[in-house]
Structure 1
Amino acid sequence: MPASPAVSAPASPTLRWPEAWRAPSFRARLLLVLALLLGLLAALPRFFAYIQARPGVVLPDPLLAALPAHDVSGLIFGTIYLSVAASLWVLLPRPQLLLRALWAYLLLHVCRCLLLWLLPLEPPVGLLLLQDPLVDQLVYAAPAPITKDLFFSGHTATVVLLALAVGRGRLRTALLAAAAAVGTLVLVQHAHYTYDVLAAPLFAWGCYRVARCIADGALTAPHPIAPSPVERGN
């Protein structure tokens, strides 16, 4: 008796690279998002130079007015880069989860650019410059420091997005705590308004939901595979 044909099942986050790469739709969406991210990276220095040169408004912020400013750049970027490293450890072996994260990151920055263009703001009173040699050289390459990259907080939103991308488990809990720490620290630095930090998780969640729809249509598996503990419920 001939073997029954394999039944197509919804994409599983546990698919590994050999199976995922055989799917043309996965390859197309992965290469597309990487190309778009590179294009965005190339456009950002000129965009932020424009944002910095444009006049804006100073928002009233009672919390910042009551909060003494301190330079905590080291804590901020230490937390962010540790969060990125821990997340990549989980995401890199799992192509579908990685694809979701990449699309969400792209959408997050497109949203930020749109809102920065629509809402010209002046930096908060008492701002202390964030010191990030990597991003300062690659993204903020401008004659003057960039201080008007405000609504919404990209630092906070990125760590929230990573928490969503890795799935439920201890790592998600740790990343959400890291996001709360980053949000608090950028306020201590007076690098953002309170509104920027409070809005960041909402935009991260919305971008991740849209990215999940884009990525989950890219893969099909012959047989469903039980998710691992770190991916279960994602």
Structure 2
Amino acid sequence: MLPIDSLTWPAAWRNFAFRWRLGAVLALLLLLVSQLPRYFAWVQARPARILPDPLLAALPAHDVSGAAFAVIYLGIGLGVVTLLPRPYRLLRALWAYLLLHLLRCLTLYLLPLEPPPGLVLLRDPLVDQLIYAAPAPITKDLFFSGHTATLVLLALAVPPGGRRRALLAGSLLIGALVLVQHAHYTYDVLAAPPFAALAWWLSGRVSRLV
């Protein structure tokens, strides 16, 4: 396998395996995005159950949507800017992101949950239009927290250093904010880092160039 940071874009583009894997993951991501609205509408419509959560029961609910999406989108921006000059890391991150969503679809299928008591809707204009295109708000996409897992995944994808530490801090902050919003159970947030780590590990197998 080529050293993870040694590949420049010109060298990467000359590599057939890189081009094939990049094209494949982009096509699969587009296919996934096209199917997610139907899947989440099904998740929202089926019967589910409420989990006891002592932490949420003791935590007053507040609308912190503005702060939450500032953390999320600043973190995503930092991750993308860091990964763009590093084609192999970017390729692996894209595969990891695809695998993360597939794992999340699986866990949503296996563990149908009603939203936590006191839920304050977490409004995201971009995701609401592209992914949650349903007449009613999607509130049952719970286990595991996709927002937390995405920032953890980006922290794993960027090189060690200050940006990784910033993304890890953002992961902790977004995990706390979605709990304040009662948009997730505590279990959803705690499960996010292990699933992000699993997706990152699996992506290393899929995105190998040699």
With normalisation by structure 1, the TM-score equals: 0.88
In structure 2, distance between residues paired with 1:74 and 1:47 = 27
Corresponding position: 1:218 with 2:209: yes
Determine which of 12, 29, 50 is the counterpart of 1:20.
12
| 1:10 match: secondary structure | coil
Mapped contact 2:5–2:88 kept (Cα < 8 A):
yes
- Aligned equivalent of 2:36: 44
Determine which of 169, 173, 194 is the counterpart of 2:186.
194
Alpha carbon RMSD of aligned pairs, Å?
1.0
Q: CA deviation at 1:93?
A: 1.1
| 1:96 match: secondary structure | helix
Determine which of 101, 124, 128 is the counterpart of 2:116.
124
Determine which of 93, 96, 101 is the counterpart of 1:101.
93
Structure label with greater radius of gyration:
1
User: For each residue in 1:174-202, what CA deviation from the matched residue of structure 2 results, as whole angstroms up to 9, or x when unmatched?
Assistant: 10000000000000000000000000000
Corresponding position: 1:174 with 2:177: no
Q: CA deviation at 1:213?
A: 2.3
Q: Which has the higher contact order (CA 8 A, sep 6+)?
A: 1
Q: CA deviation at 1:67?
A: 0.0
Q: CA deviation at 1:212?
A: 1.7
Q: CA deviation at 1:118?
A: 1.1
User: For each residue in 1:15-37, what CA deviation from the matched residue of structure 2 results, as whole angstroms up to 9, or x when unmatched?
Assistant: 11100011111110000000000
In structure 2, distance between residues paired with 1:206 and 1:118 = 18
State the identity %: 65
> Which segments of 5 or more consecutive residues in structure 2 lack a partner in the other structure?
none
User: Counterpart amino acid of 2:28?
Assistant: L
Corresponding position: 1:76 with 2:68: yes
Q: What number of residue pairs does the alignment pair up?
A: 210
User: Counterpart amino acid of 1:133?
Assistant: P
With normalisation by structure 2, the TM-score equals: 0.98
Q: Which has the higher helix share?
A: 2
In structure 2, distance between residues paired with 1:195 and 1:75 = 22
Structure-to-structure mapping, 1:133-212, within 5 angstroms:
133-212=125-204
Mapped contact 2:96–2:199 kept (Cα < 8 A):
yes
User: Counterpart amino acid of 2:209?
Assistant: A
Q: CA deviation at 1:50?
A: 0.3
| 1:68 match: secondary structure | coil
User: Counterpart amino acid of 1:172?
Assistant: R
